[in-house]
Structure formats: C-alpha cells, structure tokens
Structure 1
C-alpha cells in the first residue's frame, strides 16, 4: 500500500488539494502498478509562520 505524505503551506483551495490527491494517486497507479484503492495520500498543511526560508518565515516573506 503506497502512502504519500505531502507538506504544504496553507492557502490552497479544497479543489486544488483534491486535484493533487487525484494526480498523485494516478502517478502511483502508473509507476507502481498499485491498485487505486490501495493508495493513501496525506496532506499536511502548515501555517506560513511555521516555515522558514533563508532565516525568515514564509509569512514574513509574503510566500
């Protein structure tokens, strides 16, 4: 059973997250010949102030 974990900064729409889950699932089915029903995708969203880039939070940098 493939299990994919994706770390994302907050701010994507539900539609974007659904599309990502669909595309990642399809990629596992194609690359691993895994049954679609066995693929698990976990999206971990984090606040922008909890992610640093070059010594500053993503929130401070406007990312």
Structure 2
C-alpha cells in the first residue's frame, strides 16, 4: 500500500498539482505494481517563507542575491 508524500513550494496551479498527482499514481503503478485503489498521494504546499536551503528561504532567493556586509 504505497503512500507518496510530497512537499512542494506554494505557487503551482491546480492543474499542475493535479497533473503531478496523476503522474505519481502512474509511476507507482508502473514501477512497483501498485494498484490505484491502494495508492495514496499527499501533496503538502509549503509557503516560500517557510522553506529554506543554505539559510535562505525560497522567498529570499526569489527576491534576488544577498548583499554582503
């Protein structure tokens, strides 16, 4: 019983998110033989200000390069 849990930054259209859900279901079916009725996909949309890498949030990176002291 596959559970696919994906975190993604907020900003995609409902159509893009729906496409991702479908693609994940298809991938589980094709690659591991999962049946659709037993596959669960969870998409968690995370605000850009709450997701960071290298001590910079996505929101900060979208705003442009940092300036030094």
TM-score higher than 0.5: yes
The aligned residue for residue 27 of structure 2 is 27
Equivalent runs, 1:13-52 vs 2, <5 Å: 13-52=13-52
Distance in 2 between the 1:35 and 1:61 partners? 39
Which has the higher Rg, Structure 1 or Structure 2? 2
How many residue pairs end up in the alignment?
63
Query: Secondary structure in 2 aligned to 1:62?
Result: helix
Computed over aligned residues only, the root mean square deviation of the Cα atoms, in angstroms, reads 1.2
5+ residue gaps in structure 2?
64-69
Residue by residue over 1:5-62, the C-alpha shift from the partner in whole angstroms, topping out at 9 and shown as x without a partner, is 0000000110001000100000101111111111110001110000112211110110
Distance in 1 between the 2:36 and 2:57 partners? 37
5+ residue gaps in structure 1?
none
**Runs of 4+ more than 3 Å apart:** none
